[in-house]
Amino acid sequence: MNQATLHQLKVFEAAARHGSFTRAAEELFLTQPTVSMQIKQLTKSVGLPLFEQVGKRLFLTEAGRELFATSREIFETIAQFEIKVANLKGLKQGQLRLAVVTTAKYFIPRLLGPFCELYPGIDISLQVTNHDGILERMSSNLDDLYIMSQVPDHLDVNCQPFLENPLVVFAPLHHRLAKEKNIPIESLADQPFIMREPGSGTRRAVQSLFEEHGVKVKVKLELGSNEAIKQAIAGGLGISVLSRHTLLTDAAEFSILDVQHFPIKRSWYMVYPSGKQLSIVARTYFDYLLEAAKSFVDQTNTGL
């Protein structure tokens, strides 16, 4: 292993995590041949194959699994070292790794702008994925902070609510129920419904409200993003339940139905694993977001 480099390990770790050279190349902004070459050289240093291909899928060999676990430990140790050095220097600079659920992408980037202006030395990587994707990333300890709406109860985490996240019923602008008040929840059963994909926190919250009230909606379409659902609603394909925060810029294109038991009241939380030591950078962002969220509430609570 004397010949192996940290860069090779980084490439290998990404390829092993994704089970794909192509996705590793995308994540690391490399070409696919570069990824293959790095892994080939690493394989030579190890002296055993690291991956095996069965059909179209890529699997880790036993040596590959061992190396995957080892590289995770190496990168975690380096990250801890970086935290200690930054803390010793007392500097607010370095990398902030954030992972946020899909709806948070409507407001987190807006709050990042002023943060970056305040702390130009901090570089940010922002991953956007659904609820289950966040849980996976958290179990693999890939990020500094997570932003999500449903705090996992099977993981030991610290969490801090910082903003409300109401889920409301979206319909096309001129929907026949648009002007009605206090619509019984049962009426939603007659409407074609557009649902988020399995693994989505929004979907789970919606399903549990419907179950609680014995409402069976007709799911006409299942879509994997809030944006796709909004386009489908605007195109007249049906109604859906989404976070009100997905509406920041295009509120005029939809109606929000006044349905009983809505909005579903939820909150945004900043979450991190209990054993994790927050870097000075992550702590700075944590405090910043708590403050920034206060003025954000004022801006969004006006219309709907």
Would you count residue 201 as binding ligand PGA (CB under 6 A)? yes
DSSP percent split of the chain into helix, strand, coil, nearest 5: 45, 25, 30
Q: What are phi and psi of 77, to 5 degrees?
A: -65, -40
β-bridge mates for residue 60, sequence order:
51
Residue with tokens 């994925």: 129
Would you count residue 103 as binding ligand PGA (CB under 6 A)? yes
28 or 133: whose CB is closer to ligand PGA?
A: 133
Would you count residue 175 as binding ligand PGA (CB under 6 A)? no
What is the rounded CA–CA span in Å between residue 248 and residue 250? 6
- Closest contact distance (angstroms) between CB of 114 and ligand PGA is 24
Nearest to 74 by CA among 7, 15, 123: 7
β-bridge mates for residue 219, sequence order:
193
Query: Taking the CA of residue 75 as centre, how many other CA atoms within 13 Å lie in the half-sphere pointing to its CB?
Result: 19
Token digits for 40?
């080939």
Taking a C-beta distance cutoff of 8 angstroms, is the pair 164, 269 a contact? no
Which of 97, 131, 175, 244: binder of ligand PGA (CB under 6 A)?
Answer: 131
Would you count residue 239 as binding ligand PGA (CB under 6 A)? no
Pick out residues in 149-168 that bind ligand PGA (CB under 6 A): 149-150, 165
- At 212 the three-state DSSP class reads helix
Would you count residue 98 as binding ligand PGA (CB under 6 A)? no
Amino acid at 128: V
- Closest contact distance (angstroms) between CB of 183 and ligand PGA is 23
Would you count residue 100 as binding ligand PGA (CB under 6 A)? no
Which of 4, 9, 67, 101: binder of ligand PGA (CB under 6 A)?
Answer: 101
149 or 191: whose CB is closer to ligand PGA?
A: 149
Which of 8, 200, 240, 255: binder of ligand PGA (CB under 6 A)?
Answer: 200
Token digits for 99?
């992972």
- Closest contact distance (angstroms) between CB of 268 and ligand PGA is 8
Would you count residue 130 as binding ligand PGA (CB under 6 A)? yes
- At 276 the three-state DSSP class reads coil
Which of 148, 168, 223, 256: binder of ligand PGA (CB under 6 A)?
Answer: 148
- Closest contact distance (angstroms) between CB of 132 and ligand PGA is 7
- Closest contact distance (angstroms) between CB of 242 and ligand PGA is 9
- The stretch among 25-33, 83-91, 156-164, 193-201 that binds ligand PGA (CB under 6 A) is 193-201
- Closest contact distance (angstroms) between CB of 200 and ligand PGA is 4
Distant-in-sequence, close-in-space partners of 45: CB < 8 Å, separation ≥ 6: 1, 2, 3, 4, 8
Taking a C-beta distance cutoff of 8 angstroms, is the pair 274, 178 a contact? no
To the nearest 10°, the Cα dihedral for 118, 124, 127, 132?
-70
Which of 20, 38, 71, 202: binder of ligand PGA (CB under 6 A)?
Answer: 202
Which of 97, 196, 244, 245: binder of ligand PGA (CB under 6 A)?
Answer: 196
Residue with tokens 């290998």: 12
Would you count residue 246 as binding ligand PGA (CB under 6 A)? no
Binding site for ligand PGA (CB under 6 A): 101-103, 130-131, 148-150, 165, 196, 200-202
